[in-house]
Structure 1
Amino acid sequence: MTAQPPVLPAPELEPVPTAAAATRAIGWPRAVLRTSRPRQWPKNLLVFAAPVAAADRGRIVGMDYALLAFVVFTLASCAVYFVNDVVDAERDRRHPAKRTRPVAAGDLTERHALLLAVACMVLAEAGAVAISSAGLAACVTGYLALSFLYSSTLKHLPVLELTMVASGFVLRALGGAAAAKVEPSGWFVLVCSLGALLVAISKRYTELSGLGAAAVSHRPCLGRYTLGGLRTAQRTISVAMIAACLGWAVLNGSPWGVGCHLLTVLPLAAALLRFDWLTGRAALSRVEDLITRDRVMLLCELVWLLLFTAGTA
């Protein structure tokens, strides 16, 4: 019999990249970007509020440092979003809109999200140290600490959780003041605090009205609120905010700019009325979008800015 040649094993071939693998390679950066919430970054523009409010006859000081403060708070807020999405992953999967978030959907692993959070925190603190601003560093550290405490525990405590959400906005404004070396007035802090609380209450109103009976399973503290109570609180704070702006214009404004500053109350009142109407018809809408994407709101904000700028020119 003729001997059969030995059968050699087939050579192992390098795996050919598939379309799915290519999609995953592109999908990870996209998931990271989505989790960092670019649409929320405009919140950090509050760091410019104090330098603009303290402008003296058109001269604004410290804007370059305020710009760095914007970057610092953007990084810090990204860290908070990464951690929040890990903590809320299970609850988000039961939410009609939030279930598509990358961590909840499995597009970004929890481990990667936490590592990115640490990196953002380190960079944020390094940015505050870079300009030798102890005030900015304190505000960023306070913002991170309160945000993580809120995510872990305090978000389940009604009313207190509203003040925690509002404090994040106020710390941004104070951080910008510290970076620009501007001394914020008491009226400035009051107006910022009322505006921040108004946004926080409006967020809960839209969640409660949009989710209905499912609201408690998504956010347990919503079971302690009523639509009527939130609506009353929103309108009461709107009135208080107008009164605070009047006090700011009369008692804290430049003598030559009191007239223009008093006129800023008109577009502010119009914006608050529009905001009240928008939140009344919104369902699961991002409150920040109501402020930054509605054309009437944007017009009111522009008129307010022009009048305020004229009062400092």
Structure 2
Amino acid sequence: MAYLTLLRPKQWVKNFLVFVPIFFAQDFFGKDKIWQASLSFVVFCFIASTVYIVNDIFDKKTDQNHPKKQYRPIASGKISIKAAIFMATFIFSIGIILAYIFIPKAIPLLLIYVFLNLIYSYRIKHIVVFDVLLVSVFYLLRILIGGFATSTPISSWLILCVFFASLLVIIGKRLGEQGQLHKRVVLQYYSNDFLRQLLSVSSSLVIASYGLYSILGFHLGDHPDLVVYSIFFVVLGVFRYLYLIYSSAEIEYPEKLIFADKIVFGSIVSWVIYMFFIIYI
């Protein structure tokens, strides 16, 4: 059980972003495309878990002083550093082998993802602003890997929307962590006012970029003019998330909060259903 926890399977939900390119390319029901996207999801789960293990190795000492992270397998001593390194090497090898066999086009981006994460764990996560920007890039790389793996072009508008939405999630997480007694080192350089300003900017960019995309950049389906009304679900999700940042103790774990909060989850599901009907029906 400790080894499964070490892989952080709850974090794999973020890897569903690899399906976004084929969804917006009207190829979601193409057998070859959905197969390649599914393979890229599996491969990325292996690669991402490798990164999580490496990050836990780097953060062992700080995690031991954290009220929740102290129970992670490496921080608690359930899994030794040596065993964790072996595990990371093993699953990374599986991921790269699968990528080489089934989605070789995605290998360069997978290696870039790993390299950037190593830099992040070693240094960048301690540098103000760069830390949140780089984590947002990690979300964006999931989209790009999905596009490369399936040979699907990705709209520039889509890249902007995902990047700004990732920024919103990460900055909200940082603000939620700010009030904790044991927090990441970089937060000592962030003030609450600065984080709130970044939050306002990122939430505005999400709504503005998506609004412009819905008017200027969306040309799929028989009724592309209807996509502008999907802004309701985006605004609802953003505003609710902003509310939760200031009212929920679970904001430190947005991947949990998205499913736990009925309004946020409902806005996402409603947006997906609405967009599905516009693109495919």
Q: Residue in 2 aligned with 1:24?
A: none
Match of 1:289 among 256, 260, 264: 256
Distance in 1 separating the partners of 2:166 and 2:23: 18
Distance in 2 separating the partners of 1:293 and 1:142: 32
**Pairwise CA distance, 1:86:** 1.2
* 1:92-117 Cα distance to aligned partner (Å, 9 max, x none): 11111111111111101111111111
Q: Residue in 2 aligned with 1:80?
A: 51
Q: Counterparts in 2 of 1:27-42, with a 5 A limit?
A: 30-42=1-13
Distance in 2 separating the partners of 1:54 and 1:231: 36
Whether 1:174 and 2:144 are equivalent positions in the alignment is: yes
Match of 2:20 among 32, 41, 49: 49
SS of residue matched to 1:95: coil
Whether 1:64 and 2:64 are equivalent positions in the alignment is: no
Contact 1:207-1:283 at 8 Å conserved across structures:
no
Q: Residue in 1 aligned with 2:219?
A: 254
Distance in 2 separating the partners of 1:63 and 1:252: 24
Whether 1:153 and 2:123 are equivalent positions in the alignment is: yes
Q: Counterparts in 2 of 1:216-255, with a 5 A limit?
A: 219-254=184-219
C-alpha RMSD of the superposition: 1.6
Whether 1:183 and 2:148 are equivalent positions in the alignment is: no
Distance in 2 separating the partners of 1:138 and 1:251: 32
Aligned-partner residue type, residue 193 of structure 2: G
**Pairwise CA distance, 1:70:** 0.4
* 1:226-279 Cα distance to aligned partner (Å, 9 max, x none): 222212212221121111112222222226332331111101100001101111
Distance in 1 separating the partners of 2:70 and 2:15: 26
Moved over 3 A (4+): 58-61
Q: Residue in 2 aligned with 1:265?
A: 231
Distance in 1 separating the partners of 2:126 and 2:243: 28
Aligned-partner residue type, residue 170 of structure 1: L
Distance in 2 separating the partners of 1:31 and 1:143: 25
Aligned-partner residue type, residue 234 of structure 2: L
SS of residue matched to 2:223: helix
Match of 1:95 among 61, 66, 77: 66
Contact 1:83-1:114 at 8 Å conserved across structures:
yes
Superposition TM-score, scaled by structure 2 size: 0.94
Distance in 2 separating the partners of 1:120 and 1:261: 41
**Pairwise CA distance, 1:132:** 4.4
Aligned-partner residue type, residue 243 of structure 1: A
SS of residue matched to 2:35: helix
Contact 1:69-1:179 at 8 Å conserved across structures:
yes
Aligned-partner residue type, residue 137 of structure 1: I
Distance in 1 separating the partners of 2:94 and 2:81: 20
Aligned-partner residue type, residue 274 of structure 2: L
Whether 1:116 and 2:87 are equivalent positions in the alignment is: yes
* 1:172-209 Cα distance to aligned partner (Å, 9 max, x none): 11101111111001101111111111111112111112
* 1:39-78 Cα distance to aligned partner (Å, 9 max, x none): 111010010111111216x855711101001011100111
Gaps in structure 1 of 5+ consecutive residues:
1-29
Distance in 2 separating the partners of 1:102 and 1:309: 40
Superposition TM-score, scaled by structure 1 size: 0.84
**Pairwise CA distance, 1:131:** 2.1
Distance in 1 separating the partners of 2:26 and 2:139: 21
Q: Residue in 2 aligned with 1:198?
A: 168
Whether 1:144 and 2:111 are equivalent positions in the alignment is: no
Aligned-partner residue type, residue 186 of structure 2: C
Number of positions where the alignment pairs a residue of Structure 1 with one of Structure 2: 277
Q: Which has the larger radius of gyration?
A: 1
